[in-house]
A and B are shown apart, each in its own frame.
Chain A
């Protein structure tokens, strides 16, 4: 394989449909078309339909922006899971067709692993403990012996979904995260809310219920502030516990909720105290994107891990500790 092989990556596990072309050294081009629900949260089928009608445009614009010849593309990578079934299937179908058309290998990428590998690539973190926080996922992960291992995770819903539920209750539009972050800055009084940590696991549904039930006696600003403080303190506490337990001196923060500055600040504080190096990708790359899929696809191709079409069924429950990691 040539040094400068280019991989096309397509991400579409949930609300963001995004494609990118990446080679060993850089992101060559990207284009995205996020699905935004008219009201409420993400409806998997609506999202999949939106992806289906936009995928042609997203792919062709990505390729056109790059100004490359089609035969320079040496592989087509896509998120095979975890994610919403209908969305995953839409992206998989397009990817299979492209791989046949271009006569290049298909590469089914684990979405969580892609966040981690891309984060390591961008930041230079070597063997970090990883806090992965997004809508559906909240996990504390580290590499050991050919695999990423899960040290702790949510016992019910992801922190992003918890924030979405909280913000939907107050009529805030999707995505609620940035709005809650803004409101929290104006919060003055801390309201005591449930704080549920079990070893390195944690749970958010009790927090959502309690915070929304106090909407009469407390301001939205105070509740947003207190909600964030509890949720992020829980995440920071388990991260600190896992750093100590897994004996790591690097921390990598990935996933959409990683854009929140209050969460970053808490993690930075812990890292300073424990003399741990803190890594976090640029704000626009913490969330779901096509480049992370393309880059991880490249790693797979280099390690002879192409996905035969007959084994390219999507895996909505694909866990990071089920993926082989031979390149670490």
Chain B
């Protein structure tokens, strides 16, 4: 059964087994050579990085099997933060992203759609690591946070409060100094994209 037909991949759910298959479908708009390379790179990256993500203390689904264009993983029952996010959840998300960055990984696509809140466990899972990479540079961390903040601003009227809650959690894990240098870089990145 198709659970989600996303922009990046289609997610099939096998409810009895408690498993999902994430399959990256070819994009007809891309030339084949480029498309094949992107699909393979992202599938491999995701499978490889996801175990290190767990090791860093970030809740994420367990990988069960891997092919060239698909990953079988544990099904997480819950709802994405997209429509239910509040300040408390965002503070938790800040802690989680702090742990990820401390674990030397940049996510590459941080949005509230890539965070699942599990009611039964009362915790937040981070998903979708296709654009992730090992990177401890302030720049990579800054872009991560910039992408998230931009998405908060476009989507929520109370984005300032959500942003501040996130920062609180992020600083708690990464430490005041390291977090501040990332946040300073976020401001720089925002200025860079503007009309010159």
Contact = CB atoms under 8 A, between A and B. Distances in A.
Do A and B truly interact? yes
Interface of A: 81-83, 136-137, 142, 144-145, 149-156, 190, 192, 195, 197-201, 229-230, 233, 236-237, 240-241, 243-246, 265-267, 269-270, 273, 316-317, 319, 321
26 contacts: A136-B195, A137-B195, A149-B155, A150-B153, A150-B154, A155-B192, A195-B38, A197-B131, A198-B144, A199-B108, A199-B109, A199-B151, A201-B143, A201-B146, A201-B150, A229-B30, A229-B31, A233-B27, A233-B29, A233-B30, A233-B34, A240-B7, A244-B7, A270-B29, A273-B28, A319-B194
A83 B196 CA distance: 8
Given A192-B37, A233-B34, A154 B193 contact: yes
A142 B31 CA distance: 28
B30 A198 contact: no
- Which of B6, B131, B150, B195 is the most central at the interface, judged by chain A CB atoms within 10 Å of its CB? B195
B186 to A, nearest CB: 12
B108 to A, nearest CB: 6
A22 to B, nearest CB: 25
Contacts of B143: 155, 198, 201
Given A156-B193, A230-B34, A198 B154 contact: no
Contacts of B148: 199
A82 B195 contact: yes
Given A145-B157, A198-B108, 16 more contacts: A82-B194, A83-B195, A151-B154, A155-B189, A155-B192, A156-B192, A156-B193, A199-B110, A199-B131, A199-B147, A201-B143, A233-B29, A237-B7, A237-B27, A241-B7, A321-B153
A33 B157 CA distance: 42
B1 to A, nearest CB: 19
B165 interface: no
B113 interface: yes
Q: Which of A237, A246, A265 has the most CB of B within 10 A?
A: A237
A259 to B, nearest CB: 18
B195 A266 contact: no
Interface string B143-181: 110111011011101000000000000000000000000
Size category of the binding interface on chain B: 35 or more
* SS of A interface (majority): mixed
A298 B24 CA distance: 46
Q: For B151, B154, B194, which residue has the most chain A Cβ atoms within 10 angstroms?
A: B154
A150 B152 CA distance: 10
Given A149-B154, A152-B150, A237-B27, A192 B131 contact: no
Interface in B4-62: 6-8, 27-31, 33-34, 37-38
Contact of B33 (A137, A154, A192, A243): A192
Given A136-B196, A243-B7, A245-B111, A144 B150 contact: no
